[in-house]
Structure 1
Amino acid sequence: MAKPVLSDPITLRLPLDILEDIEKIAETADRSRSWVIVRALKYYLMAEGSEILSIRRGREDIEAGRFVEAEELFTELDRLNREDAA
Structure 2
Amino acid sequence: MTKQALSNPITLRIPQEVLAEIEAIAETTERSRSWIIVRALKTYLMNEGADILAVKQGRQEIENGEYEDFDAVIAELKRTASEKAA
Q: What is aligned with 1:24?
A: 24
Q: Which amino acid aligns with 1:76?
A: E
TM (norm. structure 2) is: 0.80
Q: What is aligned with 1:68?
A: 68
Between the aligned residues of both structures, percent identity stands at 53
Q: Which amino acid aligns with 2:47?
A: A
Runs of 4+ in 1 over 4 A off after TM superposition: none
Taking a change above 3 Å as real, the CA distance of residues 21 and 58 of structure 1, as seen in their structure-2 partners, is same
Q: Which amino acid aligns with 1:33?
A: R
Q: What is aligned with 2:10?
A: 10
The two structures, once aligned, show a CA RMSD in angstroms of: 1.8
Q: Deviations over 1:8-41 (max 9, x none)?
A: 3222110011112212222222221111001111
Q: Which amino acid aligns with 1:14?
A: I
Structure 1 unaligned blocks of 5 or more: none
Structure 2 unaligned blocks of 5 or more: none
Q: Which amino acid aligns with 2:28?
A: T
